[in-house]
Amino acid sequence: MIIQFLAVAFLLQAPQRTIAIDERLAADAKLSVGDRVILSATPESSTGDTVVIAAIVKRGNDPAEVARSEFRIRLHLDHLQSLAGYGDRVDRFAVAARGEAATQKAIDAINSAAFGFQAHRSKDIAVATSKTFQVVSRFHKAIGVITIVASAIFLLCIMLLKVEERRRDVAALRLMGISRRTVMRAVVIEAALLALVGSALGVGVGWVGSQFVNWYYRGVYRTPLSFSIITPDIVTLAVTLSLVLGIAAGILASLRLVRTPPLVLFGR
């Protein structure tokens, strides 16, 4: 009789509720799968539901979560309703749709369902809530423009100095009958090679710097988000721009050289 009673009590016992926590909470609280914790809707509460950690999930690549130090816990909807005391009410929910037409149809259906509902596209919400990142993006573009202008001036100065060092050599070539076009072509080719070598070094330094930035800030914010990326398009743009600036600097420096009479280049 006692055995039958225990069996019925075991069958009637409610299953243990489970939750999933993010990896940041698991690391800070030293929790692992299978641990039992008490879940409460209010902090410092002496009562709550004892639940079992069933999974540890990774954080997504969402820039909006980078500066937040909050933890995330996932639990079943009915459990959340009973714990928060919200009943059937929700503050917001997400709907996945296939294609632009389906998205617009879902927005119209939700907005017309009842007064108080307002549906938005996820990309519109991202734009509205990422003003800080837009300012940072403009700041990066401004730094890029300043860097390009400074690099062009620096490259032109280097070419002028190298040309000045070869005044006597160029004068000798001119007196030997070497044409101005040949002298200009040699200077421009040298400038282009210098720009290509500088581009290769710049790409290498940029890649190492990008890896360091991602390593450092991923550790600080504990997120898989990439803070610095170098794409083939960026490399192509940088090399092309460097080559154009190098050729332009070579042309300006060679024009200054070939327009000067050979005897003047000799200093006579």
At 82, the amino acid letter reads S
How far is Cα 68 from Cα 82, in angstroms, rounded to an integer? 27
Which residues, in sequence order, are CB contacts of 21 under 8 Å at separation 6+?
Answer: 31, 53, 55, 56, 57, 71, 72, 73, 74
pLDDT tens digits along 7-63: 444 444 567 889 998 888 888 888 889 888 888 887 777 778 888 999 998 877 766
SS3 7: helix
Across 242-257, b (16+ Cβ under 10 Å) vs e yields: bbebbebbbebbbeeb
Predicted confidence at residue 127, as pLDDT, reads 67
Q: What is the DSSP annotation of 177-197?
A: T--HHHHHHHHHHHHHHHHHH
What tens digit of pLDDT does each residue of 95-125 get?
888 888 888 888 888 888 877 778 888 777 7
H/E stretch holding 54 reads strand 49-57
Joined together, the tokens standing for residue 90 give 């929700």
| CA 260 – CA 174 distance, rounded (Å) | 11
Residue with tokens 């327009």: 259
- Overall pTM surpassing 0.85 (yes/no): no
